[in-house]
Amino acid sequence: MSVRDPRLAAAQRTAVGSARGTRRKITVLATWLFIVPMLALFSFSVVAGAHTFQKPDYASAVKQLPADQPVVQVDVSKGSAPSSPGLLPDFSQQHFVCSVTQSELARIQQRWRTGRLSIGRLDIVTVFGANDQELRSYLGDNGVRCVLVRVASIFFLPFDPHGS
């Protein structure tokens, strides 16, 4: 096939090529506009799902304390909150468990409102409205030993990788 005007033929090929390029750019943009929100939604569901299954691990904290003394639970004071490598640690939900003597427990129950927390064989006295610094200043720092109750979390993926 002969071409009468080579410039006209080149212009037609360029016009067709730019229409295909525009269509391809729109397709790639639409694909990314779909993929990015889906990845964000998936990531949010994994993080939110893992966050809902966090619970305090009292048993391992109490194992670090003497077994023959009563155990009390107090809140973490802002000054003794440990630094955490995690993102935005929430110390308002963390507690210390402390070992005290029977006479110190009686003094604590006279000053603060208390309750009982029974987890299996563990019997822990919850002290409301007190933190670890107040407890140490009230009882004296020499006999009170406190351990931070860590949060045990379960991380899971919201799908079954085996397809069963």
The whole-angstrom separation of Cα 36 and Cα 42 is 10
pLDDT digits (tens, 9 = 90+) for 21-41: 788 889 999 999 999 999 998
Instruction: Report, as an integer, the average pLDDT of 124-152.
Output: 81
| Domains of the chain by residue range | 1-53, 55-152
The whole-angstrom separation of Cα 127 and Cα 112 is 6
Q: What SS3 string covers the chain?
A: CCCCCHHHHHHHHHHHHHHHHHHHHHHHHHHHHHHHHHHHHHHHHHHHHHHCCEEECHHHHHHCCCCCCCEEEEECCHHHCCCCCCCCCCHHHCEEEEECCHHHHHHHHHHCCEEEEEECCEEEEEEEEEEHHHHHHHHCCCCCEEEECCEEECCCCCCCCCCC
Q: Is the pLDDT of residue 87 over 60?
A: no
**Per-residue confidence band for 88, with pLDDT thresholds at 50, 70 and 90:** very low
The whole-angstrom separation of Cα 24 and Cα 7 is 26
Decide if 145 contacts 65 (C-beta within 8 A): yes
**Higher pLDDT residue, 150 or 2?**
150
Instruction: Report, as an integer, the average pLDDT of 85-93.
Output: 48
Please provide the average confidence, as pLDDT, over all residues in the chain: 75
**Higher pLDDT residue, 98 or 90?**
98
Predicted local confidence at residue 80, as pLDDT: 56
pLDDT digits (tens, 9 = 90+) for 26-79: 999 999 999 999 999 888 877 766 655 567 777 888 888 888 888 888 887 665
Q: Is the pLDDT of residue 84 over 80?
A: no
Structure tokens at 63: 């194992």
Predicted local confidence at residue 53, as pLDDT: 58
Q: Is the pLDDT of residue 109 over 60?
A: yes
